[in-house]
Structure 1
Amino acid sequence: MKLALEFQLQKGHFKLACNIDVNWSSPSTHVIFGQSGIGKTHLLRSLCGLEHPDGRITWHNQQHVEYWLDKQAGLAMPCHQRNVAMVFQDGQLFTHMNVEQNLRFAFERSDATHEDWATCISTLQVQDILSHNVSQLSGGQAQRVALARAILSKPKLLILDEPLASLDWQSKQDVMGYIKRLNSQWRLPVLYVTHDIHEVLTLADHVIMLEKQGDSTLAMPAKPLMDILQDDSHPFYGLGKSSILHTQPSSNHNEGLLHCAIGQQTLRLPLGELSSHETQLRLCIAASDVSLSLTPAKDSSIMNILHGKVSRIEQTQNQQYLIQLNIEGQYLLSEISAYSFARLKIQLWQPVYAQIKGIALQQAL
């Protein structure tokens, strides 16, 4: 699946230019990231047909190409024909309907099955609030209902416009858990808009940056999140060069620690506010929090020691060394001094041990 964007939008002094392809080789989440006011919502409105910029927008799947917009040919497909579902910050639920009526409004106008209905109601845990009026819902409940309604419309593309912006911390964690399962459970390609770094680290597979260049906003081609985090000039303020590891938490809690498997190896994290109910945890680990040794430390307070092989060596601008390790098929970065690099005599494909403090893992979630 591919969304090809070749358009320019101008409204007053605001200018947005897009000349990128957004590719989903498999259902995944592309995050559109940029500072407040840079034009993220204008981009989404253009995709949905709520704005009519100059240029062309096309949707490609394995069977055919749909022309959503071709200004030169005088074509602008109406919003409802694009089969795109959008969830806003406030959910945009129908206030004159209760929860079930909101959901049935989407369900009865799509090709969703009764099995889809049952699965959606159960997964998003709205079965106990179906009879509630919209005014009775908390912020987290309203966003769960909005997500359920969007899913039941059976869209080809799901767009989420800062859906967590108005929620408290706990509600954000709960709703993010549901969003993380959208790709795998519903096979949905997702575009997610945010200016929150934590949401990027938790949800993004690829990132589309919006950047100011002169008096225009430009949409930059999508890059894998892992590649962006390894770049010295990445835009996530306060976060240095980092890695993302995908782990499977277990129910094995020992002395306040959550055990997470990475292949055949184990990471141990302070439980804190982590949820052990997730089937997968994404850990963001700063390269500066990873030290290396040639043998596993036996007398150390550091419990997280992962065995891997050196897969890349790069000298940084500040005369440090960035070492990429292959650990169980995933990549972990370590930043060490030139002195340590020379002392350890690091070489490509050399077996080494990465040491990570548990507190560093907890803070990076």
Structure 2
Amino acid sequence: MSIALNIHLEYDNFSLISEEEIPLKGITGILGHSGSGKTSLLRVIAGLNSNAIGTVEYGDIILQNTDRNTFIKSELRNIGFVFQDARLFPHLDVLGNLDFAVKRCQSSSMTIDEVICLTQIEHLKKRHVGQLSAGEKQRVALARAILAEPKLLLLDEPLSALDNKARGEMVELLRNIHQRLDLPMIYVSHSVIEIQQLADNVLVMENGKVIQRGHVHQVINQLHESVTHGQTIQTSLSLKIQQHLPNFGLTQLDFIDAQPGNSRLYTNVVDKKINSHLRCYILATDISITLQQPQDTSVINNLQGVINNIQRLSRNSAQITVNACAQDFLVKLTRYSVEKLKLEIGQTVYIQFKANAIRSY
């Protein structure tokens, strides 16, 4: 199943042009600046922008075809939508908001209690909406959307008002809900980290068009700094939890396809089970390069690799791509360092980074 789009939408000073096929398996992330067209694209899929011209197809169901004067209203599309501002009914308590969704679902297979448990809002049931924090409101909005039992869930920057702790909890919650319900999601955000933690595939939008698409690690590893709002470029990867070393406050990691011990890395202790996978990233500024294998160093992670690209970023900086353990690592150095070490493509080097450089959020 997929959503096939061939859409043109005009505003006074903005155009959305999209000819995409979005797979309805896993979580698809849509990344881009504010005003890049992410929300407009979601609204077209949901049927909230009826002035869009073109076609929208959900598998073999035609949701919109302007040439045939076909347009299925949003409430009949069986597509859930979680907005940035939650949009709960302010005059109702939490249960009242959830009851509203149940009444709209003609054939419920999940009870309110099951969804309340799934979204972890048991303690909020009798609270009034005005008593909820931003994170709690989004959990209730998520529960309400799930109770309508949609075939597809659209999420429009639902975590933008949350602090880092609440954001991390919601990312984990969304991942668990997706796995439990096998519910396809399209997740919009301007946060590279949210997309990196949640999405399987990613579309990058700029000026109303998709400029990049592909697997999450591939896309993020090729992002330009202009797309990441000036944030440092990073290496995005998935690693396997090998063992915990609580006495040292560390967790040992290995590359997923590597033989245990051949590519050992360490990060700060992670609350995940042995053999589970950890999505993580390393900022390009946190990696250094040496020509000789490090000896007697406090930097705990070092890998041998080969330089496969050198790119000038500015007058004073360069990006070096080093392939180590079949993974490309992006390293940002001063041009002085590049010239001092006489770095060149094809050269064997060692990259090194501290345990706290491997981040998961």
TM-score normalised per structure 1: 0.80
Deviates more, 1:78-87 or 1:293-302: 293-302
Q: CA 1:277 to 1:323, structure 2 compared with 1: closer, same or farther past 3 Å?
A: closer
1:349 is aligned to: none
1:92 is aligned to: 87
- Runs of 4+ deviating beyond 6 Å: 292-296
Unmatched 5+ residue regions in structure 1? 347-351
1:83 deviates by 0.8
Pairing partner for 2:280 from 283, 299, 313: 283
Q: CA 1:300 to 1:151, structure 2 compared with 1: closer, same or farther past 3 Å?
A: same
Q: CA 1:142 to 1:345, structure 2 compared with 1: closer, same or farther past 3 Å?
A: closer
3-state secondary structure, aligned to 1:106: helix
Contact (CA 8 Å) 1:245, 1:332: kept in 2 or not? no
2:315 is aligned to: none
1:203 and 2:203 are equivalent in the alignment: no
Q: Tell me the distance in 1 between the aligned counterparts of 2:162 and 2:319.
A: 40
1:103 deviates by 2.3
Q: CA 1:151 to 1:294, structure 2 compared with 1: closer, same or farther past 3 Å?
A: farther
Contact (CA 8 Å) 2:205, 2:212: kept in 1 or not? no
Count of matched residue pairs: 339
Amino acid at match of 2:26: S
Pairing partner for 1:254 from 247, 251, 258: 247
Deviates more, 1:293-302 or 1:65-74: 293-302
2:297 is aligned to: 300
Contact (CA 8 Å) 1:89, 1:163: kept in 2 or not? yes
Contact (CA 8 Å) 1:259, 1:268: kept in 2 or not? yes
3-state secondary structure, aligned to 1:51: coil
Q: CA 1:80 to 1:270, structure 2 compared with 1: closer, same or farther past 3 Å?
A: same
Contact (CA 8 Å) 1:110, 1:154: kept in 2 or not? no
Deviates more, 1:230-239 or 1:285-294: 285-294
3-state secondary structure, aligned to 2:174: helix
1:333 is aligned to: 329
Contact (CA 8 Å) 1:85, 1:150: kept in 2 or not? yes
Contact (CA 8 Å) 1:257, 1:269: kept in 2 or not? yes
Q: Tell me the distance in 1 between the aligned counterparts of 2:112 and 2:342.
A: 58
1:71 deviates by 0.5
1:37 is aligned to: 35
Q: Tell me the distance in 1 between the aligned counterparts of 2:265 and 2:181.
A: 29
TM-score normalised per structure 2: 0.80
1:143 deviates by 0.8
3-state secondary structure, aligned to 2:357: helix
Contact (CA 8 Å) 2:321, 2:328: kept in 1 or not? no
Alignment of 1:102-251 (within 5 A): 102-108=97-103, 109-114=105-110, 117-212=112-207, 217-220=208-211, 222-231=213-222, 233=224, 235-236=227-228, 237-248=230-241
1:249 deviates by 8.0
Same amino acid, percent of matched pairs: 28
